[in-house]
Amino acid sequence: MRVLITGIDGFVGSHTAEFLIQQTNVEVHGTVFGDIPRPNISAIESSLHLHPIDLMDSAQVASVVRAVQPDRIIHLAGQAFVPTSVRDPISTFQVNILGGVAILEAARIMSESGKSTAVLMISTGEVYGRVDPERMPITEDFPLQPNNPYAASKASIDLISQQYRSSFNLDVTVARPFNHAGPRQSPVFVCSDFAKQVAEISLGMRLPKMLVGNIEAERDFTDVRDVVKAYWSILERPHSEPVFNICSGTPVKVRRILDQLRALTGMEISVVVEEHRLRAYDVPVVVGSTQRLRDATGWSPAIKIEDTIRELYEYWKHQLSTS
């Protein structure tokens, strides 16, 4: 079986690649952008087949898909940081929507030529926007009400994917992952940001002072390795559902993550809320329903958030002490 992962050298892409090379009879292909260092996959690069492309070039995308002849495509590439989308909505819409359409079109053309290619389109739990806590957990049937450009771009390709499924009978499923974390995550995201700050403090690289935003928010966190297993479970088992949430089903206050990281050092660390880290479009509580995915695949998260946070902290200590 040939699997093509777009954005294979990214945070989630690298974990997906690590998981797939351990599976029996899976040939792992991946798209990368430009000739730049790829530290996330350096340890496994010899086991991968890499294809440099510009996702915005639909002809390049079609050429790679035609050459690889993938049985499955996991589309992870794109712009995934909300503040970046607020600063630059145009490029976010372009890469997340048009890049996704390029993948869908390439798969459609393949299918029409007789080669069936299953596509897993990665959306986000952000598409649901602000939901009253009394109505949670959020199920897949909730309306899409994106409240930032990133979420709007994902809601767009989410709906376009479902349209390709119904209009062209394309084997495409949408995954809506909620917050996830783990080693190699960019420090622009809250768990990795906090873990890096605490690691710097423990190594004496900065004063014992944490810079934070809204730590009273509650989020539905899942370990990235559990998320990857959820993606594969959707592709491995026959189902009739067009969309799946991927989440833990349990809200965790950001303050709890902060407190755990501070406790890991055994040091007295003060906390300073910075105004620029507070977001007007933030939602106070997010928790999703895993019922549909559990019923269809039997998947459930196995890694506790405490273990994820500890590993993130250890990851950053290692990175900082060896760089």
The pLDDT mean for the chain works out to 95
Nearest to 62 by CA among 13, 21, 15, 115: 115
Whole-number pLDDT of residue 281: 64
**218-220/251-253 β-pairing:** antiparallel
Residue type, 20: L
Whole-number pLDDT of residue 159: 98
Contact assessment for residue 255 and residue 215, using Cβ atoms and an 8 Å cutoff: yes
Burial bucket for residue 149 (CB in 10 Å: 0-12, 13-18, 19+): buried
Superfamily of domain 183-219+250-288+303-322 in CATH is UDP-galactose 4-epimerase, domain 1 (3.90.25.10)
Whole-number pLDDT of residue 34: 83
State the CB neighbour count (10 A cutoff) for residue 72.
22
CA torsion through residues 156, 68, 3, 84, sign: negative
Q: Is the peptide bond before 137 cis (omega within 30 degrees of 0)?
A: yes
Whole-number pLDDT of residue 282: 74
State pLDDT tens for residues 123-160. 999 999 999 999 999 999 999 999 999 999 999 999 99
**For each successive 10 residues of the chain (323 residues), what is the average pLDDT?**
97 98 97 91 97 95 97 96 92 97 97 94 96 95 96 98 97 97 96 97 96 94 98 94 97 96 94 83 88 97 97 97 88
Residue type, 219: R
Full-model pTM:
0.96
State pLDDT tens for residues 279-322. 766 778 999 999 999 999 999 999 999 999 999 999 999 999 99
Superfamily of domain 2-180+223-246 in CATH is NAD(P)-binding Rossmann-like Domain (3.40.50.720)
| Domain residue spans of the chain | 2-180+223-246, 183-219+250-288+303-322
Residue type, 161: S
Nearest to 120 by CA among 272, 242, 263, 210: 242
Nearest to 224 by CA among 123, 308, 105: 308
